[in-house]
């Protein structure tokens, strides 16, 4: 697969006509998904066909709401069967004492992303936001387009419908795309992987080897790992889109500079936040029916957000946890309102602390481990030799240099210099050097998990 992208890109550049270019991208997308999930490519086709026919029927039938309801039920049913069956049956067994067998269905890669993307298309057709696409191949291309197929960002059909039918590739777009792709790959390979090694070492250690120092080091390492993993993949998807003439919306906007949890969710995984805002929060009533109803609606949204991320109690708790702090911010205006610089500092610390604690539960294998980790972070001041030695072993020179780079990259430093004349050539040189380093790292076959592939 190492030559997959260059071959597809070159062919896309030289093929005449949008039809042939679309056929190439569709074939490449299907092969890309089949390479990782050869069996579940059938599921991708079924999901796409379902939503294609439902959208066409909605546009031509007088039973629009009935068809939409069936489409949503079928889409959610697919998610439940392939992602939540074991969790549901396991919960039933725990609560009732039954011993129902667990089918242990292997979850298709990226099922949450392409299912939500497909649902947004059908809902938009129902609302009249977009017209039903009569060409099935174009719908399949929209849902299966390989740059963002398995880990987002979630793209709405009306945002790229025109570019499916008519797009252009320019030298500037390709060069910016390569630069953005390289930056995302560097985020993933050079920062996220380094942070991930430390986080995995600490979260995988025995309880006796963890004290406050190790717990905080593990929590901060994972907090940086997940941000640079997911934002790195989003950058790569956006960059690849530019290279092929597509323009996806931004998915991250420096979330760790937030001064509240409300602001954090305006900056983190923007496509998912926007999806829930548009297709769940607003239909529930949004903030139009009083403060109490607003709080309830937000709690429902974040309960669903937690469930979307995974079939485990800790994901459910993570969603409720964020919902509780959003509720708090509705009733304690001091947290969310801007004020003096001193107040802004405290708000920033508050937001980072809440997010960091939340990600502990996101990373923990069980709720018990998450609770243990939080206990050690705030009470584990034992400083025994074994625990201290284990924590110090993780702080290598490579880790310290990467940590410094990560902390700088979390801040909008680039925004202050991107208008300077020297920045563009400097950025291109750095991106190419970074690309070479990443390729050497990937060729060595080292640790390279993508966290969001499992969602």
Enumerate residues 6+ apart whose C-beta is below 8 A from 231.
184, 187, 251, 252
CB 355 within 8 A of CB 265: no
The predicted pLDDT at position 177 comes to 93
Q: Give residue-wise pLDDT tens across range 116-150.
A: 999 999 999 999 999 999 999 999 999 999 998 88
Please give the pLDDT value at position 396. Answer: 94
**Given a cut of 70, is residue 2 above it in pLDDT?**
no
pLDDT of the residue at 110: 85
Overall average pLDDT of the 227-237 stretch: 93
Please tell me the predicted confidence (pLDDT) of residue 442.
79
For 173-218, what is each residue's pLDDT tens digit? 899 999 999 999 999 999 999 999 999 999 999 988 999 999 999 9
Per-residue b or e along 392-401, where b marks 16 or more CB atoms closer than 10 Å to that residue's CB = eebeeeebee
pLDDT of residue 440: 84
Residue range 68-111, pLDDT digits in tens: 999 999 999 999 998 898 888 888 888 888 888 888 888 888 88
pLDDT at 432: 87
Catalytic machinery residues: 309
Q: Does the N-terminal peptide bond of residue 153 adopt cis geometry, omega within 30 degrees of 0?
A: yes
Q: What is the pLDDT of residue 198?
A: 95
pLDDT score recorded for residue 341: 78
pLDDT at 447: 60
List the one residue out of 382, 399, 396, 451 whose CA is nearest residue 207.
382
Share of the chain above pLDDT 90, in %: 59
Amino acid 384: pLDDT: 84
pLDDT digits (tens, 9 = 90+) for 413-445: 887 877 788 888 888 888 889 888 888 887 776
- Percent share of the chain, pLDDT over 70: 96
On the question of pLDDT at 335 being above 70, the answer is no
> In 364-422, which residue ranges form alpha helices assigned H by DSSP?
367-379, 385-394, 397-409, 413-417
The residue behind tokens 């079939």 is 311
From the list 357, 355, 298, the residue with the least C-alpha distance to 323 is: 298
Q: How confident is the model at residue 322 (pLDDT cuts 50, 70, 90)?
A: very high
Residue-wise pLDDT for 341-356, tens only, equals 788 889 999 999 999 9
Q: How far is it, in rounded angstroms, from Cα 308 to Cα 305?
A: 5
- The pLDDT of 265-274, averaged and rounded, is 93
pLDDT the model gives residue 416: 80
CB 264 within 8 A of CB 351: yes
Q: Which of 136-140, 263-267, 394-398, 437-441 has the lowest mean pLDDT?
A: 437-441
> Residue 229: pLDDT above 90?
yes
pLDDT tens digits, one per residue of 38-78: 888 999 999 999 999 999 999 888 899 999 999 999 999 99
Q: What does the mean pLDDT of the chain come to?
A: 89
């Amino acid at each position: 697969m190492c030559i997959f992208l260059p071959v597809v890109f070159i062919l896309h550049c030289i093929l005449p006509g949008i039809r042939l270019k679309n056929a190439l991208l569709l074939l490449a997308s299907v092969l890309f998904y089949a390479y990782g999930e050869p069996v579940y490519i059938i599921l991708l086709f079924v999901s796409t066909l379902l939503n294609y026919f439902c959208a066409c029927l909605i546009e031509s039938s007088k039973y629009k709401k009935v068809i939409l309801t069936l489409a949503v039920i079928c889409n959610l049913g697919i998610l439940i069967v392939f992602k939540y069956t074991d969790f549901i049956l396991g919960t039933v067994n725990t609560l009732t004492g039954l011993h129902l067998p667990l089918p242990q269905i292997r979850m298709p890669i990226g099922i949450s992303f392409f299912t939500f993307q497909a649902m947004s298309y059908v809902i938009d057709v129902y609302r009249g936001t977009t017209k039903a696409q009569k060409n099935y191949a174009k719908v399949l291309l929209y849902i299966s387009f390989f740059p963002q197929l398995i880990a987002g960002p979630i793209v709405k059909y009306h945002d790229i419908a025109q570019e499916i039918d008519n797009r252009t590739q320019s030298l500037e777009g390709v060069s910016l795309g390569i630069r953005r792709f390289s930056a995302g790959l560097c985020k993933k390979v050079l920062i996220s992987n380094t942070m991930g090694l430390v986080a995995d070492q600490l979260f995988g250690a025995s309880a006796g080897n963890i004290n406050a120092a190790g717990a905080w080091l593990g929590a901060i390492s994972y907090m940086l790992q997940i941000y640079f993993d997911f934002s790195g993949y989003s950058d790569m998807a956006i960059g690849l889109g530019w290279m092929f003439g597509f323009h996806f919306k931004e998915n991250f906007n420096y979330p760790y500079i937030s001064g509240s949890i409300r602001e954090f969710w305006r900056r983190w995984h923007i496509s998912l936040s926007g999806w829930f805002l548009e297709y769940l929060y607003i239909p529930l009533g949004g903030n139009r029916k009083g403060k109490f109803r607003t709080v309830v609606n937000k709690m429902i949204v974040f309960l669903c957000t937690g469930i979307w991320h995974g079939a485990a109690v800790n994901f459910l708790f993570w969603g409720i946890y964020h919902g509780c702090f959003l509720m708090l911010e509705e009733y304690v205006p001091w947290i969310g309102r801007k004020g003096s610089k001193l107040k802004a500092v405290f708000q920033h610390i508050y937001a980072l602390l809440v997010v960091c604690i939340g990600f502990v539960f996101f990373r923990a294998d069980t709720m018990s481990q998450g609770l243990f980790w939080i206990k050690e972070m705030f009470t584990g001041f034992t400083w025994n030799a074994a625990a201290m030695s284990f924590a110090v072993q993780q702080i290598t020179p490579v880790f310290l240099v990467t940590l410094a780079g990560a902390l700088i990259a979390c801040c909008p430093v680039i925004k202050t210099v991107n208008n300077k004349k020297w920045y563009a050539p400097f950025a291109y040189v750095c991106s190419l050097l970074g690309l070479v380093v990443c390729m050497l790292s990937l060729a060595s076959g080292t640790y390279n998990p993508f966290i969001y592939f499992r969602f």
